[in-house]
Amino acid sequence: MNATPRVLALLDDVLASAAPDRRGALWQLAEAGRELDANLVRLPAGAEVGEHQEDVLDVLLVVLEGGGLVRVAGGELVVGPRSVLWLPRTSRRALVAGAEGLTYLTVHRRRPGMAIRGPGGPPAHEGGEGPCMLDRVCAECGRLSEDPAPVFCSRCGERFPER
């Protein structure tokens, strides 16, 4: 593992280079040996990430552009640029992008993956759940699928990428 601090991304550059209609994860932390996961996510105006709960990890969510609502038990939190939210593990939440869309960064401890090992060898494949369930968020409308391996979005019919 390279333990030397370094700049991994300039988020203004990532956002500027992404097509305006590109949605979903625009950037992910992918360094080998890391103990964190981070994702830069863009939702178009009106898109939602359906209600869900993270049972194991606290998540820090930082709004970079746009705004919207975070639905939580007991109400809604209005968020805009530079809002920083702590989403404690076991809390239920849903996100709704406002009229300008919603672009945010999430950071949390890396979920330990399962490893498939050959006889006496190193891991042949590292698995585990996708960070923040992004692989279950529809790229077209932003809906979170309840199906752990969705093929089509139940809201808009968009086909999910093959895994």
Task: Note the pLDDT of residue 142.
Answer: 77
Position 48 in a domain = yes
What domain range includes position 96? 14-111
pTM of the model: 0.69
Task: Note the pLDDT of residue 135.
Answer: 77
pLDDT in tens, 10-67: 999 999 999 988 888 999 998 888 889 999 999 999 999 989 888 888 999 999 999 9
Position 122 in a domain = no
Position 57 in a domain = yes
Position 133 in a domain = no
Q: What is the 3-state secondary structure (H, E, C) of the chain?
A: CCCCCCCCCCHHHHHHHCCCCCCEEEEECCCCCCCEEEEEEEECCCCEEEEEECCCCCEEEEEEEEEEEEEECCEEEEECCCCEEEECCCCEEEEEEEEEEEEEEEEEECCCCCEEECCCCCEEEECCCCHHHHHHECCCCCCECCCCCCCECCCCCCECCCC
Position 32 in a domain = yes
